[in-house]
């Protein structure tokens, strides 16, 4: 069983997808703790409803301490709107993943979060967008890519339309990436991910 720690700042629909797949056995994992830097994050409420430890904590050293005391093997950033320090990253090297709502390396990096990402896709006139699950390294949205899924972008789309379409894919791919890790199917070679058969 993989011990999972999830960090959220908002609604936590991706967290819900992970909770559901842990409960129905699709993922051989246990969410040990959900931590948020926002006291009113609905993600904390979702965790409590499922009897998962839910902690509001802004201090990064304390966050690291909690993850360690819960013996977390994998940290999942699921809508965590806080930059992670190099120290935190090195404590969980290759054991921390993030989901970003675009096809990295497009529409990512500093300042690209929430609807801003999808508005930038519209403004540019891109015809596809999507989502990316990747390992976390020192570069914002820059770690090795684990999974990507694309969705079409239509001329009439609003940022919200694209967000909704992308979220449908996110809710499938984030649990899938966790499942691949729990089954030892993800290897990193020269900074690239190989998914083993």
Q: Which residues bind ligand GRF (CB under 6 A)?
A: 8, 10-15, 78-79, 99-101, 131, 167, 170
Q: What is the nearest approach in angstroms of ligand GRF to the Cβ of residue 131?
A: 6
Min CB(166)–ligand GRF separation in Å: 7
- Kindly state the smallest distance separating residue 4's Cβ from ligand GRF, in Å: 15
Query: Is position 100 annotated as part of the catalytic site?
Result: yes
DSSP string of the chain, one letter each residue: -EEEEEEESS--HHHHHHHHHHHTTSS-EEEEEEEESSTT-HHHHHHHHTT-EEEE---HHHHHHHHHHTT-SEEEESS--SPPPHHHHHHTTTSEEEEESS-TTSS-STT--THHHHHHHHHHT-SEEEEEEEE--SSTT-SPEEEEEEEE--TT--HHHHHHHHHHHHHHHHHHHHHHHHTT-EEEETTEEEE--
Residue placing its CB nearer to ligand GRF in the complex, 66 or 159: 159
Which of 50, 100, 118, 134 is an active site residue?
100
Q: Which residue, 29 or 175, has its beta carbon nearer to ligand GRF?
A: 175
Query: Closest distance between ligand GRF and the C-beta of residue 176, in Å?
Result: 14
Give the separation between CA 15 and CA 48, rounded to whole angstroms: 12
- Enzyme catalytic residues: 100
């Amino acid at each position: 069983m993989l011990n999972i720690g999830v960090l959220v700042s908002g609604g936590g629909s991706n967290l819900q997808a992970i909770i559901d797949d842990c409960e129905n056995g699709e993922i051989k994992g246990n969410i040990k703790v959900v931590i948020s830097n926002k006291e009113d994050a609905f993600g904390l409420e979702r965790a409590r409803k499922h009897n998962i430890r839910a902690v509001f904590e802004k201090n990064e050293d304390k966050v690291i301490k909690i993850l360690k005391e819960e013996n977390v093997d994998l940290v999942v950033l699921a809508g965590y709107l806080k930059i992670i320090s190099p120290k935190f990253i090195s404590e969980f090297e290759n054991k921390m993943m993030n989901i970003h709502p675009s096809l990295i390396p497009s529409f990512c990096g500093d300042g690209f979060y929430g609807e801003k990402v999808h508005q930038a896709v519209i403004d540019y006139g891109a015809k596809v967008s999507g989502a990316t699950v990747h390992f976390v390294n020192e570069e914002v949205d820059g770690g090795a890519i684990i999974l990507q899924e694309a969705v079409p972008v239509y001329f009439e789309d609003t940022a919200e339309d694209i967000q909704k379409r992308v979220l449908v894919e996110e809710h499938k791919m984030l649990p899938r990436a966790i499942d691949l890790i729990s089954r030892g199917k993800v290897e990193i070679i020269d900074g690239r991910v190989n998914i083993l058969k």
